């Protein structure tokens, strides 16, 4: 097992990553040999054939056996490459039956992961040595779940569940990138987009993982509800568009929001009470605040009732 990144590949942290690397380096060395061979021949022919006065080029322009040879010989190499790639790919696609199911939701612009007992996290937690089946979906546009250290990638398509799986075989951290372009918004520090959908996978011993599942659903020990709401504000990416100090970002600031009367794009006025805020979070397109675009993603399925309550109680502190 290689614990360090190779020259061209990141560290391998999943069961089939090494297979992918083997195929990658096989093609790499094959290409190097072919490339050097062809270029050496071309360079030699070109230099040795440099034009000399009075010397004509040799006229022969066709050689059946040679030409058939270089048409047919590659077929075998190509067939072999196809075969190893396909076999490796099948391993990636066949989810082991005992896999733990984790839901991954992509939205503009972040990730949310949900475990079988309803616990959510922004960082993906993965138990060591246990296959994990990812059930991926998107709240808005296309994204792709990409973990280079696992050699895995899968597009998330709105309206469709996509599945893939991995088995982390070493402790450590891996990166999550969004690999399918999904836009961007905002100016300056509040700008966010495709490039900001960078997350982490934390691979932990099975015991720690179980502990995380037990404790993950609610405030941490000693945390008050508004503090939990504040943590959610950061963790769930609300901070990407909403400030708490009055500055206008892609969305309105939360400062003094609770209890204020908001003017909507159709000039109706609504009081920002619990119901209004709850609706703003679950169905943001139902009413659009005047002066803003309809860009807020819905958090339906991502935020639990308890979490929404916690966010509201945090908002109440932002006078």
Partner 1 sequence: MSTHDEATLNTNYLTATKGWKSWAFTLDHKRIGLMYLVFVLAAFLAGGIFALLVRTELMSHGPTIVSGPTYNKLFTLHGAIMVFLFIIPSIPASLGNFILPIQLGAKDVAFPKLNLLSFYVYLCGATLTLLSIAHGSVDTGWTFYTPYSLQDPEAATKVLYMTLGVFVLGFSSILTGLNFLVSIHKLRAPGLTWTRLPLFIWGMYATSIMQVLATPVLAITLLMLVFERVFGLGIFDPKLGGDPILFQHFFWFYSHPAVYIMIVPGMAVVSELFATFSRRVIFGYFAVAMSSLGLALVGFIVWAHHMFTSGMSEFANMLFSALTFLVAIPSGVKVFNWTATLYKGSISFAPPMLYALAFLFLFTIGGLTGLFLGTLNTDIHLHDTYFVVAHFHYVMMGGTVIGFIGGLLYWWPKMTGKMYHFGGATVGAWLTFIGFNVTFLSQFVLGSRGMPRRYYDYLPEFESLHRVSTFGAYILASGLFTTAGVLIHSLAKGRAAGRNPWGSVALEWKTQTPPVFQNFEQTPIITKGPYDYHLASDEELVEDLYAPDAAE
| Residues within window 90-129 making contact with ligand HEC, judged by CB under 6 A | 108
Give 22 or 306: the residue with its C-beta nearer to ligand HEC.
Answer: 306
Give 16 or 233: the residue with its C-beta nearer to ligand HEC.
Answer: 233
238 binds ligand HEC (CB under 6 A): yes
Contact 273, 235 (CB under 8 A): no
226 binds ligand HEC (CB under 6 A): no
309 binds ligand HEC (CB under 6 A): no
Contact 299, 281 (CB under 8 A): yes
Give 128 or 178: the residue with its C-beta nearer to Cu ion.
Answer: 178
Which stretch, 111-119, 128-136, 178-186, 247-255, contacts Cu ion (CB under 5 A)? Answer: 178-186
CA distance 109 to 127: 25
Q: What residues contact residue 103 under an 8 Å CB cut-off, 6+ apart?
A: 113, 114, 134, 135, 136, 137
Identify the residue among 15, 124, 289, 318 touching ligand HEC (CB under 6 A): 289
End-to-end, the C-alpha distance of the chain in Å comes to 55
251 binds ligand HEC (CB under 6 A): yes
How far is C-alpha 56 from the geometric centre of its chain's CA atoms? Answer: 60
Would you list the DSSP string of 160-201? S-EEEEEEB-SSEEEEEEE-S---EE-SGGG-EEGGG--EEE
Identify the residue among 178, 296, 310, 318 touching ligand HEC (CB under 6 A): 296
Contact 111, 297 (CB under 8 A): no
Query: For the purposes of burial, counting CB atoms within 10 Å of the CB of 57, is it exposed (0-12), middle (13-18) or buried (19 or more)?
Result: exposed
228 binds ligand HEC (CB under 6 A): no
Give 19 or 114: the residue with its C-beta nearer to partner 1.
Answer: 19
125 binds Cu ion (CB under 5 A): no
Binding site for ligand HEC (CB under 6 A): 108, 236-238, 240-242, 250-252, 257, 262, 272, 277, 280-281, 284, 287-289, 292-296, 299, 303, 311
């Amino acid at each position: 097992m290689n614990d360090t990144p190779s020259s061209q590949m990141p560290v391998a942290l999943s069961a089939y990553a090494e297979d992918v690397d083997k195929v990658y380096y096989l093609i790499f060395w094959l290409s190097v040999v072919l490339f050097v061979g062809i270029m050496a021949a071309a360079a030699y022919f070109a230099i040795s054939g440099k034009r000399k006065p009075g010397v004509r080029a040799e006229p022969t322009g066709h050689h059946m056996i040679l030409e058939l040879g270089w048409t047919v010989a590659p077929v075998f190499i190509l067939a072999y490459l196809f075969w190893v790639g396909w076999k490796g790919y099948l391993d990636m696609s066949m989810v082991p039956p005992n896999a733990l199911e984790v839901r991954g939701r992509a939205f503009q612009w972040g990730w949310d992961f949900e475990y079988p007992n309803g616990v959510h996290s922004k960082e993906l937690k993965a138990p060591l040595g246990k296959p994990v089946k990812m059930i991926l979906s998107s709240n808005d546009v296309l994204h792709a779940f990409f973990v280079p250290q696992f050699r895995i990638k899968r597009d998330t398509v709105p309206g469709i569940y996509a599945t893939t799986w991995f088995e982390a075989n070493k402790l450590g951290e891996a990166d999550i990138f969004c690999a399918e372009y999904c836009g961007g918004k905002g100016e300056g520090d509040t700008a966010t987009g495709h490039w900001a959908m960078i997350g982490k996978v934390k691979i932990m011993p099975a015991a720690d993982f179980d502990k995380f599942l037990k404790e993950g659903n609610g405030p941490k020990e000693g945390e008050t509800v508004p503090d939990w709401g504040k943590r959610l504000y950061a963790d769930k990416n609300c901070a990407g568009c909403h400030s708490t100090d009055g500055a206008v970002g892609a969305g309105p600031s939360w400062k003094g929001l609770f209890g204020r009367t908001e003017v909507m794009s159709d000039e109706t006025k609504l009081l920002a009470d619990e119901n209004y805020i709850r609706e703003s979070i679950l169905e943001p397109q139902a009413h659009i605040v005047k002066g803003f675009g309809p860009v807020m993603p819905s958090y339906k399925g991502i935020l639990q009732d308890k979490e929404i309550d916690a966010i509201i109680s945090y908002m109440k502190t932002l006078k």
